[in-house]
Structure 1
Amino acid sequence: MTSGKRLILNCCIVLGVFIAVAGCSPFVENNEIEEISPVTFWYMKEGKKGKISMSTVVPPVGLEKKRLFSTEVDMIKQVGKRFNLNYFNELKNGQLRMVMIEENLADKGILPIINTLLSDPKIGPRLYLIIVKGDFDKYILSELKQSENFDFYLYQTLRHFEKANQGEMSIVNLHQFKNQLYTHFSDPYVPVFRTDGNQFTYEGTGLFRNDKFVKVLTGIDDQTFQLINNNRYLKFLTIPNLSIVIGQARSTVTFDLNQNNTALSMKVSLNAGIEEYTGDKNLQDQSEFSALVHDVESELEKKTADIIKDMQNIRVDPLEVGGEALFPFTKPMSDKAWLKRWENMDVKVDYQLNLRPIVNTQ
Structure 2
Amino acid sequence: MRHMKRIALLFMMSGILLTAGCSPFVDNNIVEEIAPVIFWSIRDGGEGKMKISTLVPPLINEKKRLLTLQVDMLKQGAKKFNLIYYRELKSAQVRLVLIDEQLARKEVLSLINTLIIDPEISPRLYVVIVKGNFNDYINSQLLKQENLDYFIYRLFKHYETKNQGEMTIINLHQFMTKLYSPFPFPIMPVFKVNHENFTYEGSAFFGHDQLIATVKEIDEQIFQLLNHDHYLKNFSIPALNVTIGKVRSKIHMKLSPDRSSISIQVDLDGRMEEYRGEKNVLDRNELASLDKELEAYLENQTKALLQKMQQWKVDPLQLGNLTLKPFSKPISEKEWLNDWERMKINVDYRLHILPLTNVKE
Task: Give the C-alpha shift of residue 329 in structure 1.
Answer: 2.1
Moved more, 274-283 or 260-269: 274-283
Pair 1:315-2:341 in alignment = no
Q: 1:6 to 1:216 in 2, by over 3 A?
A: same
Task: Give the C-alpha shift of residue 200 in structure 1.
Answer: 1.1
Q: 1:227 to 1:11 in 2, by over 3 A?
A: closer
Secondary structure of 1:47's match? strand
User: Aligned partner of 2:54: which letter?
Assistant: T
Task: Give the C-alpha shift of residue 325 in structure 1.
Answer: 0.8
1:249 to 233, 247, 250: 247
Task: Give the C-alpha shift of residue 12 in structure 1.
Answer: 3.1
Deviations 1:161-214 (A, max 9, x none): 112211111111111111111111241111101112221111111111111111
Matches within 5 A, 1:1-362: 2-13=1-12, 19=17, 24-359=22-357
Secondary structure of 2:285's match? helix
Moved more, 275-284 or 341-350: 275-284
Q: Distance in 1 between matches of 2:20 and 2:34?
A: 18
Q: Distance in 2 between matches of 1:4 and 1:125?
A: 48
Q: 1:262 to 1:86 in 2, by over 3 A?
A: same
Q: Distance in 2 between matches of 1:349 and 1:178?
A: 30
Q: Distance in 2 between matches of 1:6 and 1:171?
A: 59
Q: Distance in 2 between matches of 1:16 and 1:326?
A: 49
Q: Distance in 1 between matches of 2:113 and 2:347?
A: 37
Q: 1:294 to 1:20 in 2, by over 3 A?
A: same
Query: Mind listing any 5+ residue stretches in structure 2 that lack a counterpart?
Result: none
Q: 1:186, 1:319 within 8 Å by CA — same for their partners in 2?
A: no
Moved more, 177-186 or 259-268: 177-186
TM-score (norm 1): 0.95
Q: Distance in 2 between matches of 1:186 and 1:286?
A: 47
Q: 2:269, 2:351 within 8 Å by CA — same for their partners in 1?
A: yes
Secondary structure of 1:77's match? helix
Secondary structure of 1:178's match? helix
Q: 1:22 to 1:187 in 2, by over 3 A?
A: closer
Q: 2:184, 2:207 within 8 Å by CA — same for their partners in 1?
A: no
Secondary structure of 1:94's match? helix
Q: 1:100, 1:132 within 8 Å by CA — same for their partners in 2?
A: yes
Q: 1:266, 1:348 within 8 Å by CA — same for their partners in 2?
A: yes
Percent identical pairs in the alignment equals 46
Q: Distance in 1 between matches of 2:6 and 2:130?
A: 64
Moved more, 187-196 or 308-317: 187-196
Q: 1:14 to 1:309 in 2, by over 3 A?
A: closer
Q: Between Structure 1 and Structure 2, how many residues are aligned?
A: 358
Q: Distance in 2 between matches of 1:146 and 1:48?
A: 32
Secondary structure of 1:61's match? coil
Task: Give the C-alpha shift of residue 53 in structure 1.
Answer: 0.5
Q: 1:118 to 1:14 in 2, by over 3 A?
A: closer
Q: Distance in 1 between matches of 2:96 and 2:281?
A: 46
Task: Give the C-alpha shift of residue 16 in structure 1.
Answer: 5.5
TM-score (norm 2): 0.95
Q: Distance in 2 between matches of 1:22 and 1:195?
A: 47
Deviations 1:194-242 (A, max 9, x none): 1122211111111111111111111111111111111211111111121
Q: Distance in 1 between matches of 2:173 and 2:14?
A: 40
Q: 2:186, 2:207 within 8 Å by CA — same for their partners in 1?
A: yes
Q: Distance in 2 between matches of 1:326 and 1:90?
A: 49
Q: Distance in 2 between matches of 1:164 and 1:4?
A: 63
Secondary structure of 1:85's match? helix
Query: Mind listing any 5+ residue stretches in structure 1 that lack a counterpart?
Result: none
Q: Distance in 1 between matches of 2:324 and 2:13?
A: 59
Superposed CA RMSD: 1.7
Deviations 1:332-356 (A, max 9, x none): 1110111011011000000011111
